[in-house]
Structure 1
């Protein structure tokens, strides 16, 4: 295949940009109200939305957005950014892919694309196109993301950083050089909302940081490192200071267990009266019979002392299809307008 044909085919496949849903442009309250009078997943979603609204109305509640999976690439990126901009969340725990390969990636000016067809994946590989189900990413643009992460690492003092501290530097970079106003990483930096990625290097960040360490080592120079223990310590510190907390969880995986385990960690540190997470919503398609569902349902998590079972709701649905309704409902009910801004990121300054 010649380069000219290659370029033409690649441009053809990367011709339709994923447009992220804007929860401010439609009012889902009537739909959620109607779903509350239905059954099955519709009623579960309505109850979950009600619990999220209770979190927003509770003056003592700090809310954590917990993200796993590829909903950011699939069209929910601006939704998450709006939750942060409108003071509807106070902290984020996510996979590295959600934060780096998706949000930071678009913050640099790159895009995700709808797959109008799915040709042989070996063909995609030959064109440097990566696929997430029916979504495409330009591998050459993703490598720009890798190199930018490496450049940020090169600019920092060679010492240990939590993922929160490094992501803050990423937000600072976007505030100065970014090309997208509503990047979650950028807005988190500007609003002092901490973002934690407990498996940070399982993303494009990993490539850039490995390159940083290898090149520094070759030059005989010290290099920066990520401190996973600091992640756990810092997030637990926020939990201890926050008291009442609520979880809005999309998917599961490491981020889900990481935020839940802060309760147990606080107890081990001697804080015997630390509250379990009072509110919890999880949207997932994972089953529980084979030990999946990211290890447990919310009710099961109560046995570990992590989540109170009074105000919890599992919603078994693909998150991209239901989060726009939940978030739009909460946005238009407007409890966020009078919420106190926590700015938990400031406690580490």
Structure 2
């Protein structure tokens, strides 16, 4: 019978977009048909976001992306000023990125594995990928310890993730971390469903042992902070990998700002990669043209690409990196703004709410 170490033997490798100039390939695909042409156009739209000096770029992440080998794609986007804010699921940011920052790994597995045997060995399976449950518990405990050290008050998820970045700055065993890179570049990371991940276990442990005073996560503050970024931005663009809560959370900032009385435009640019089926009416599959009816996404520079992220994301990100528009972009450092101006009014307020 295989041992735990036998299962956890082959590490997932993170692709390096800098090593593969995909520009000729993507440009050739852009004059083909079907998904190839859609992907080519999506890459061109992302490049246009980077060339637009007024554009704030919000990256939305959903799905098991970093465990699959896409972590360093986002690390490079953050380090090279190719993204100004991130909205993500908790699993990606905590269970996958922060987890690896602590020195742990994801491993290549098999979809036909004996899941009962994996459970008995404390190995969790993500399709064809393995993760050590015992190491995840260390990640849980680290989040609890972070909460124990913080001032006892409500935090936005951005504020808590920033403290995770501060922890990695001092203690990281793997510095190729989105949480760490975002901390160093002052790129805010929002996790709207923050308790739905390893941090959630840490926070309930913290609150269980501190019933009379504890750290909590203020989801409304999350929404307000991201809306402030939209208000401060002359133009905005969305690069959405997957769908779910991050997609809608970022899109809704347009409606939120309008409701608060700010005269701003819709997201000018929008790209989404998804494999969801549009016929079920679900959020993940709702088209960007549909979002226009809600007043969230403008028409003309939007593109849906129905493709799995491990294929599509490196091509789009690699295309944009090698085109080089990022070299002329400056860092927005929205985390500094949010920390310094938390209680101040921002942006351009209209006379009254429009609805």
1:20 is aligned to 2:14: yes
2:18 counterpart SS class: helix
Residue of structure 2 in register with 1:243 after alignment: 234
- CA distance in structure 1 between the partners assigned to 2:206 and 2:234 by the alignment: 38
1:62 counterpart SS class: strand
1:106 Cα shift?
0.3
Moved over 6 A (4+): none
- CA distance in structure 1 between the partners assigned to 2:234 and 2:205 by the alignment: 40
- CA distance in structure 1 between the partners assigned to 2:13 and 2:296 by the alignment: 36
More helix by share: 1
Listed as ranges, the matches of 1:120-159 within 5 Å are 120-159=114-153
2:162 to 159, 168, 181: 168
- CA distance in structure 2 between the partners assigned to 1:241 and 1:89 by the alignment: 15
Which deviates more, 175-184 or 43-52? Answer: 175-184
Residue of structure 1 in register with 2:352 after alignment: none
Whether contact under 8 Å (2:276, 2:285) holds in the other structure is no
1:330 to 320, 336, 347: 320
Q: Deviations over 1:213-265 (max 9, x none)?
A: 00112xxx410110000000000011000120000000000000000000000
Residue of structure 2 in register with 1:233 after alignment: 224
1:223 counterpart SS class: coil
- CA distance in structure 1 between the partners assigned to 2:41 and 2:13 by the alignment: 28
- CA distance in structure 1 between the partners assigned to 2:210 and 2:323 by the alignment: 52
- CA distance in structure 2 between the partners assigned to 1:159 and 1:68 by the alignment: 28
Listed as ranges, the matches of 1:51-90 within 5 Å are 51-90=45-84
- CA distance in structure 1 between the partners assigned to 2:173 and 2:151 by the alignment: 26
2:254 to 253, 260, 263: 263
- TM-score with structure 1 setting the length: 0.96
- CA distance in structure 1 between the partners assigned to 2:147 and 2:67 by the alignment: 25
Whether contact under 8 Å (1:284, 1:293) holds in the other structure is no
- CA distance in structure 1 between the partners assigned to 2:175 and 2:5 by the alignment: 26
Whether contact under 8 Å (2:271, 2:304) holds in the other structure is yes
1:292 Cα shift?
2.3
Structure 1 gap segments, 5+ residues each: none
1:197 is aligned to 2:191: yes
1:316 is aligned to 2:310: no
1:291 Cα shift?
1.1
Which deviates more, 292-301 or 36-45? Answer: 292-301
1:99 Cα shift?
0.3
1:293 Cα shift?
4.8
2:300 counterpart SS class: strand
- CA distance in structure 2 between the partners assigned to 1:278 and 1:101 by the alignment: 32
- CA distance in structure 2 between the partners assigned to 1:117 and 1:326 by the alignment: 28
Residue of structure 1 in register with 2:350 after alignment: none
- CA distance in structure 1 between the partners assigned to 2:282 and 2:76 by the alignment: 30
1:38 is aligned to 2:32: yes
The 1:192/1:342 distance shift into structure 2, 3 A limit, reads same
1:341 counterpart SS class: coil
Whether contact under 8 Å (1:251, 1:283) holds in the other structure is yes
The total of aligned residue pairs comes to: 339
Whether contact under 8 Å (2:274, 2:285) holds in the other structure is no
1:340 Cα shift?
1.8
Residue of structure 2 in register with 1:188 after alignment: 182
- CA distance in structure 2 between the partners assigned to 1:260 and 1:348 by the alignment: 19
1:295 Cα shift?
5.8
Cα RMSD (Å): 1.0
Whether contact under 8 Å (1:285, 1:316) holds in the other structure is yes
Residue of structure 1 in register with 2:330 after alignment: 340
Structure 2 gap segments, 5+ residues each: 340-355
1:118 Cα shift?
3.2
- CA distance in structure 1 between the partners assigned to 2:43 and 2:68 by the alignment: 21
1:82 Cα shift?
0.5
1:280 is aligned to 2:270: yes
- TM-score with structure 2 setting the length: 0.94
